[in-house]
Amino acid sequence: MKLGRSFFSLYFLIVCCFGTLSWLLDEFWSMHVEQDVESYTGYKTVLKALDEKLRVDEPVENWPNRIAIAKERFDLPIILVTTEEAKVLVPDLEFVNHDNVTVFYDDNQITIFHHMEGVEQVLVLGPVPSPTRPRTEALIRVAMLVLLGFVIFFWVWPISKDLDKLDKTAKAFGQGDFKATVKGGTSVLVQPMINTFNMMSGRINSLIEAHKELTNAVSHELRTPLARSKFALQVLRGAKDDETREKYIDKIATDVEELESLVNELLVYAAFESDQPKITYSHGDVRKLVEYQVENFCSDDVQATFECDTSEVIADFDGHFLNRALSNLMTNAIKYGNDQIKVSLSVDELNCIISVEDNGPGVDSHFKEIIFDAFSRFDKSRGKDTGGFGLGLAIVNKIMQWHHGSAKVEDSDLGGAKFTLIWPKQHIV
Reduced to 3 states (helix: H, G, I; strand: E, B; else coil), residue 60 is helix
**Given 256, 275, 294, which residue is the final one in a domain?**
275
CATH code where residue 256 lies: 1.10.287
- DSSP characters over 262-293: HHHHHHHHHHHHHSPPPP--EEEEHHHHHHHH
Say if pTM beats, i.e. exceeds, 0.85. Answer: no
Q: Which helix (H) or strand (E) holds 103?
A: strand 101-106
- Same domain? For 352 and 288 the reply is yes
Q: Which helix (H) or strand (E) holds 79?
A: strand 78-82
Beta strands in 322-371 (DSSP E): 340-347, 351-358
Domain around 355:
282-424
Long-range contacts of 2-6 (CB under 8 A, 24+ apart): 3/160, 3/163, 3/164, 3/167, 4/160, 4/161, 4/164
- Same domain? For 413 and 290 the reply is yes
Does any domain span residue 183?
Answer: no
Does any domain span residue 343?
Answer: yes
- Same domain? For 379 and 337 the reply is yes
Which amino acid makes up residue 361? P
Torsion angles phi and psi, residue 99, rounded to 5 = -105, 20
Q: Residue 344's pLDDT is what?
A: 94
Looking at the structure of the chain, the number of domains it has is 3
Does any domain span residue 242?
Answer: yes
CATH code where residue 121 lies: 3.30.450
Reduced to 3 states (helix: H, G, I; strand: E, B; else coil), residue 386 is coil
Does any domain span residue 227?
Answer: yes
- Same domain? For 201 and 265 the reply is yes
**Cα–Cα distance for residue pair 347/351, rounded to 1 Å:** 6
Q: Assess whether the previous peptide bond of 158 is cis (omega < 30° from 0).
A: no
Q: Residue 316's pLDDT is what?
A: 92
Torsion angles phi and psi, residue 80, rounded to 5 = -115, 125
How many distinct helices (H) and strands (E) make up the chain? 11, 11
**Cα–Cα distance for residue pair 419/395, rounded to 1 Å:** 14
- Same domain? For 120 and 90 the reply is yes
**Given 115, 133, 151, which residue is the final one in a domain?**
133
What does the angle CA 211 – CA 213 – CA 215 come to, to the nearest 5 degrees? Answer: 65
**Cα–Cα distance for residue pair 222/227, rounded to 1 Å:** 9
Q: Over the stretch 17-59, which tens digit does the pLDDT of each residue have?
A: 766 766 776 666 555 544 444 456 777 788 888 888 888 778 8
Q: Residue 89's pLDDT is what?
A: 76
- DSSP characters over 148-211: HHHHHHHHHHHHHHHHHHHHHHHHHHHTT-TT--------TTTHHHHHHHHHHHHHHHHHHHHH
Candidates 375, 379, 371, 370; CA nearest to 391 is: 375
- Same domain? For 419 and 314 the reply is yes
Does any domain span residue 410?
Answer: yes
CATH code where residue 419 lies: 3.30.565.10
- Same domain? For 303 and 244 the reply is no
**Cα–Cα distance for residue pair 124/128, rounded to 1 Å:** 11
Q: Residue 165's pLDDT is what?
A: 84
- Same domain? For 63 and 39 the reply is yes
DSSP tag of 412: -
Is 240 exposed, middle or buried (CB count within 10 Å of its CB: 0-12, 13-18, 19+)? exposed
Does any domain span residue 156?
Answer: no
Does any domain span residue 352?
Answer: yes
Does any domain span residue 382?
Answer: yes
Q: Using alpha carbons only, how large is the chain's radius of gyration in Å?
A: 47
* Cβ contacts of 394 within 8 Å, gap of 6 or more: 269, 372, 373, 374, 375, 376
Tens digit of each residue's pLDDT, the chain (429 residues): 444 555 566 566 666 776 676 677 666 655 554 444 445 677 778 888 888 888 877 888 888 888 888 888 888 888 888 877 877 777 666 554 455 777 777 766 778 888 887 788 888 888 887 665 455 556 676 777 777 777 777 777 787 788 888 888 888 888 888 788 888 777 777 788 888 888 888 878 877 876 776 677 677 677 778 888 888 888 888 877 888 888 888 888 888 887 887 787 777 766 666 566 678 889 999 999 999 888 888 877 778 889 998 888 999 999 988 998 998 898 888 888 888 899 999 998 899 999 999 988 888 888 888 888 776 655 543 344 444 556 788 888 888 988 999 999 999 988 899 999 999 988 766
Q: Over the stretch 88-125, which tens digit does the pLDDT of each residue have?
A: 777 666 554 455 777 777 766 778 888 887 788 888 88
- Same domain? For 295 and 257 the reply is no
Specify whether the CB–CB gap between 46 and 76 falls below 8 A. yes
**Cα–Cα distance for residue pair 391/276, rounded to 1 Å:** 17
- Same domain? For 323 and 350 the reply is yes
Candidates 254, 270, 269, 266; CA nearest to 383 is: 254
Q: Residue 380's pLDDT is what?
A: 43
- Same domain? For 270 and 286 the reply is no
In the chain, the largest separation of any two C-alpha atoms, in whole Å, equals: 156
**Given 133, 151, 174, which residue is the final one in a domain?**
133
- Same domain? For 255 and 326 the reply is no
Reduced to 3 states (helix: H, G, I; strand: E, B; else coil), residue 9 is helix
Q: Residue 96's pLDDT is what?
A: 47
Q: Over the stretch 172-183, which tens digit does the pLDDT of each residue have?
A: 888 888 788 888
What does the angle CA 83 – CA 32 – CA 79 come to, to the nearest 5 degrees? Answer: 30
Q: Residue 92's pLDDT is what?
A: 64
Q: Over the stretch 141-168, which tens digit does the pLDDT of each residue have?
A: 677 777 777 777 777 778 778 888 888 8
